[in-house]
Amino acid sequence: MDFELRIVVEKVAVSSQEVVKRDTITSYAIQCPTSIVELGLRHGEQISLLEKIQDILLTEQSILIDHEMHVCPHCGNPLKKNGYKASNFHAVFSDHTLHIQKHHCSNADCHWHNTPTIKSLFGSNIHPDLAILHCEQGALYSYREAEKNLETWNARPRRVNNHMHVKRMTDKVGAVLSEHNQLAPAAAECSAPAQDLIIQIDGGHIPIQEKDKRSFEALSAIVYRPEHLQAVDHHHRQIMEKTCESVSDPCCAQARDVSRHQGDGAGRWGEELLVGVVRSHT
């Protein structure tokens, strides 16, 4: 007897446990695997399954968005439904289109209407979990490498993982972190003041792959207390505890540390580097 496995999603009334909606997502033939490749689902099939389940969940969630809005915020007259607005949403592994209810005011003189999108409602149409991946990849690799890595994990290319998107997200989050880094830490977070500090700074030019763009400059520094420099043997010494910081020319650069600086002039960002290392030294 042949069998298949059917993947079904049921919408159930919590109180009565009545099934109000039933969707068959997909089905898999049950066959004896002839090679290890046939064991379980393949990479692309797993992503595709997630995508279909997400689609159903998002459809249910999008029905609830703004549905409790009944009166006009301007004149207080009842609102009328005015069709749906298609809106894009990018989850970690899949892209979706949500349809969100539009409203307009029933008072002809008022003209109030709204066209909500995921971006206008939540500030972004990229799930933060995907934004984290973009930032981590953008900080560790070139943007083109990041795009390739994301494509490999996702088992297919997606426009949202394009290197320009990764760059934009890395820059955006980097700017916020940079601002945060300007804030003085609470006294409780600081270590006891050091009598002396040793700071070593080095810099260099790093070539980039973008055509017609010059290389960018980077500075990196380590800072440590003299007492943390200990002899390993006659020829080697080791720093037991140190803090490392780096900054790069922000005009065309992608620093390894995305949280660094946006300023102008090597002098100014060199200064920033020093402030950073001294401040964060423990």
Q: Enumerate binding residues for Zn ion (CB under 5 A).
A: 72, 74-75, 77, 105, 107, 110, 112
* CB of 112 or CB of 122, closer to Zn ion: 112
CB neighbours (10 Å) of residue 149? Answer: 17
Compute the half-sphere exposure of residue 162: CA atoms within 13 Å on the CB side of its CA: 5
The answer to whether residues 205 and 215 touch, using CB atoms and an 8 Å cutoff, is yes
Q: Minimum Å distance from CB 72 to Zn ion?
A: 3
Q: Minimum Å distance from CB 63 to Zn ion?
A: 24
Q: Minimum Å distance from CB 100 to Zn ion?
A: 20
* CB of 72 or CB of 218, closer to Zn ion: 72
φ, ψ of residue 49 to 5 degrees: the values are: -65, -45
Q: Minimum Å distance from CB 71 to Zn ion?
A: 8
Q: Minimum Å distance from CB 65 to Zn ion?
A: 20
* CB of 19 or CB of 75, closer to Zn ion: 75
* CB of 114 or CB of 178, closer to Zn ion: 114
Task: Give Cβ neighbours of residue 197 (< 8 Å, ≥ 6 apart).
Answer: 223, 224, 225, 226, 278, 281
* CB of 112 or CB of 141, closer to Zn ion: 112
* CB of 107 or CB of 280, closer to Zn ion: 107
* Cα(18)–Cα(57) distance, integer angstroms: 18
Q: Minimum Å distance from CB 83 to Zn ion?
A: 18
